[in-house]
Amino acid sequence: MMPTVAFHHFGCKVNFSEASALSRQFLAKGYRLAGFHDKADIYVISSCAVTSTAEKKCKAAIRQAHRLNPLARIAVIGCFPELNHKEIAGMEGVEIVLGHQGKFRLLEALEGKNPVEREGTPIKNPDFIPSYSVGDRTRSFLKIQDGCDYHCAYCAIPLARGSSRSDTISHLLREARVILATGIREIVLTGVNIGDFGKQNGETFLELLSRFNREIDIPRIRISSIEPDLLSDGIIELIAASEKILPHFHIPLQSGSNEILRSMNRKYTRELYADRVQKVRAHMPEACVATDVITGFPGEKENHFLETVTFLESLPVSYMHVFTYSRRENTPASNASGTVPGAEKKRRSDMLHHLSDEKKMAFYLANRGKPASVLFESDRKEGMMHGFTGNYIRVKTPFDPSLINEIRTVMLEELCPDHSYLWLPSSPRH
């Protein structure tokens, strides 16, 4: 009988798409998949190292796997090995440690067909390795781009994933048609810096979106996070005119202070950021506009923080992902002066989380009483299932298997305390 293998991924949707591609390799060879909380013969941990918290979660997962089966073979792949190979390789139970280029040879390494079992060499001239996720019956995350050339002062991703590179539009269209054949209703275009797509191939992200919009017969296309300086008028206008590409934007801000943005080595000003948000709103008043904010960056004084708060208060953003600055080795900010005390970082983070909750509630209330198309997912919790509107409003309804992977038009009427709308169909279901 073939061994059982359990996968667990941390971090971004790129990690998720790559882990899913790896799991398909194992299934094709006859391996049996297990849940990560079950006893398995092999545990594969697709790691993240964007923050110290992500690293701690990865190490906790290694210890958990070793407790579940002390005889299991544990492989750790991805960002953490690229940044701190020795620490991971020295943990009890870990047999194989592979970075981003090596991880797609994981099956060969486990079967002894590839001599590389431990890898600690930084990425040089990396290749683009295609991947997409399956398993979720409603949506697939399609990796279109990898790596980053931006080198923001706080970020270790260029060290972990290497320089920016992309797939080609023609290959991505073929991948999308394969995904479509599985019955998926929504494709999410994802990458580390998707707005940078195509420059090595003489292509652009706008061209990719245009081709997908014209040629892929799928109800929904969603884009992941895009840098404000790469969100062009053409992209906004295309999405506004499209019936497929959803009005959902994730535009990272990080700080509302131009002085801190310069210290972070970001590529835009707060004025450009505000212009992009206003442009989205002018074309799509109903759009969801999410953002990322970092608090406690070295040198961030109270006046800088208050600039960020008042700037966000003035903008029609829908909600924020709030991050507390986490020092990453070998980044420009790692030795910067002006460290913000932990208690102060927490106070600022709490304030931003509170503001985010207010923004999200206001966004949800602005959509009350309106019809919306919802793609329902296969989850089941306490007798309920949920789905998302095109502009990423969460809707829940009593579980009904016939609704899974179905798109229904619902009225957004009953807003619940958990930031979701409750939909109760008025007619019997069949």
Q: Write out the chain in H/E/C secondary structure.
A: CCCEEEEEECCCHHHHHHHHHHHHHHHHCCCEEECCCCCCCEEEEEECCCCHHHHHHHHHHHHHHHHHCCCCEEEEEEHHHHHHHHHHHCCCCEEEEECCCCHHHHHHHHCCCCCCCECCCCCCCCCCCCCECCCCCCEEEEECEECCCCCCCCCCHHHHHCCCEECCHHHHHHHHHHHHCCCCCEEEEECCCHHHCCHHHCCCHHHHHHHHHHHCCCCEEEECCCCHHHCCHHHHHHHHHCCCECCEEECCCECCCHHHHHHCCCCCCHHHHHHHHHHHHHHCCCCEEEEEEEECCCCCCHHHHHHHHHHHHHCCCCEEEEEECCCCCCCHHHHCCCCCCHHHHHHHHHHHHHHHHHHHHHHHHHCCCCEEEEEECCCCECCEEEEEECCCCEEEEECCHHHCCCEEEEECCEEECCCEEECCCCCCCC
Band of pLDDT at residue 430, cut at 50, 70 and 90: very low
Which residue type, as a one-letter code, is found at position 140? S
pLDDT exceeds 80 at position 133:
yes
Identify whether 125 is part of a domain: no
Band of pLDDT at residue 284, cut at 50, 70 and 90: very high
pLDDT exceeds 90 at position 257:
yes
CA-to-CA separations, 200 to 146, 151, 264, in angstroms, rounded: 12, 18, 26
Structure token digits, residue 160: 């972990």
Say whether both 147 and 167 belong to one domain: yes
Identify whether 86 is part of a domain: yes
Say whether both 181 and 214 belong to one domain: yes
Identify whether 53 is part of a domain: yes
Identify whether 127 is part of a domain: no
Cα Rg of the chain, angstroms: 22
**Strands 319-324 and 394-398, bridge-based pairing:** unpaired
Please, are residues 375 and 322 in contact by the beta-carbon 8 Å criterion?
A: no
pLDDT attached to residue 117: 44
Q: Of residues 210 and 111, which shows the higher confidence score?
A: 210
pLDDT attached to residue 19: 85
Band of pLDDT at residue 429, cut at 50, 70 and 90: very low
Q: Which of 346, 366, 386 is the last residue of a domain?
A: 366
Please, are residues 295 and 268 in contact by the beta-carbon 8 Å criterion?
A: no
pLDDT attached to residue 205: 98
pLDDT attached to residue 89: 87
Q: State mean pLDDT over 209-215.
A: 98
pLDDT attached to residue 123: 52
Band of pLDDT at residue 115, cut at 50, 70 and 90: very low
Q: What residue numbers bound the domain in which 323 lies?
A: 139-366
Which residue type, as a one-letter code, is found at position 189? L
Say whether both 260 and 394 belong to one domain: no
Say whether both 259 and 349 belong to one domain: yes
Band of pLDDT at residue 160, cut at 50, 70 and 90: confident
CATH number (domain holding residue 322): 3.80.30.20
Say whether both 375 and 282 belong to one domain: no
Say whether both 14 and 161 belong to one domain: no
pLDDT attached to residue 215: 98
Please, are residues 34 and 4 in contact by the beta-carbon 8 Å criterion?
A: yes
Phi and psi for 2 in degrees, rounded to 5?
Answer: -70, 150
pLDDT attached to residue 124: 58
Identify whether 159 is part of a domain: yes
Say whether both 375 and 316 belong to one domain: no
Say whether both 37 and 89 belong to one domain: yes
How many domains is the chain partitioned into structurally? Answer: 3
Please, are residues 380 and 408 in contact by the beta-carbon 8 Å criterion?
A: no
Identify whether 132 is part of a domain: no
- Cα separation of 148 and 159, whole Å? 9
pLDDT attached to residue 136: 66
CATH number (domain holding residue 9): 3.40.50.2300
Say whether both 51 and 70 belong to one domain: yes
Identify whether 361 is part of a domain: yes
- Cα separation of 94 and 253, whole Å? 38
pLDDT attached to residue 125: 59
Between 43-57, 81-95, 100-114, 331-345, the lowest mean confidence (pLDDT) is in 100-114
Say whether both 278 and 345 belong to one domain: yes
Q: State mean pLDDT over 109-120.
A: 61
Q: What is the pTM of this model?
A: 0.91
Q: Cβ contacts of residue 265 below 8 Å, gap of 6+?
A: 150, 151, 152, 153, 332
Question: Which of 16-20, 111-115, 126-130, 204-208 has the largest mean confidence?
Answer: 204-208
Q: Which of 59, 92, 110 is the last residue of a domain?
A: 110
Identify whether 124 is part of a domain: no
Say whether both 37 and 156 belong to one domain: no
| Sign of the CA dihedral with 199 first, then 164, 136, and 371 last | negative
- Cα separation of 240 and 244, whole Å? 10
**Average confidence score pLDDT of the chain:** 92
Please, are residues 326 and 53 in contact by the beta-carbon 8 Å criterion?
A: yes
Between 39-48, 99-108, 380-389, the lowest mean confidence (pLDDT) is in 99-108
Q: State mean pLDDT over 149-163.
A: 91
Say whether both 222 and 350 belong to one domain: yes
Q: State mean pLDDT over 161-185.
A: 95
